[in-house]
Structure 1
Amino acid sequence: METAAGRDGAAQAGQGEVFDFDVAVKPVLEVLIGTTVDQALLELVVEDELAYRWEQQCVYIDWQNTELVERLEEQERRYREEKILR
């Protein structure tokens, strides 16, 4: 051991003893990035499905309303005809 300005022989690491951050972190990052991308794609698919279902629901409601209006108009027409006949 030397002074504070010198080197401490016991603190030196040999080849292969130092943690190689890039090598150790790369597999973890690949999994995190892959999982994040998969989750993002899944969210897009779900959003598209919800938008499609909402659109189909609106079309169905419009169709129902049109049918209801037609039935009510027909009922009103029959009511007027019966009223005239009486």
Structure 2
Amino acid sequence: MPDNEENYRQLDKLISPSVSRVFAEEDLQAGETEEAIATLLDEAFTAGRLTDKAIELAESRYDGGPVDEMLEAIKTIRAKNSAA
């Protein structure tokens, strides 16, 4: 199974280059790879560019921690938006 940094790089490839990566890259440089992945998911979601493929990749690799928490938050927001 790939390590967190490889997971970040794979996820990064699934997200549009137009999505800001400033905060995610800062987390990555600080050695906080799971935080970097969660931040990248958040940045992509906020920009309206989070793909189902990116979500599926993150879900398949994480069960708990900041990535899982971000995925749950995204699902909650999507559910609220679709119900509105």
* TM-score bracket, shorter-length normalisation: under 0.3
So what's the TM-score if we normalise by structure 1?
0.24
Higher share in helix: 1
So what's the TM-score if we normalise by structure 2?
0.25
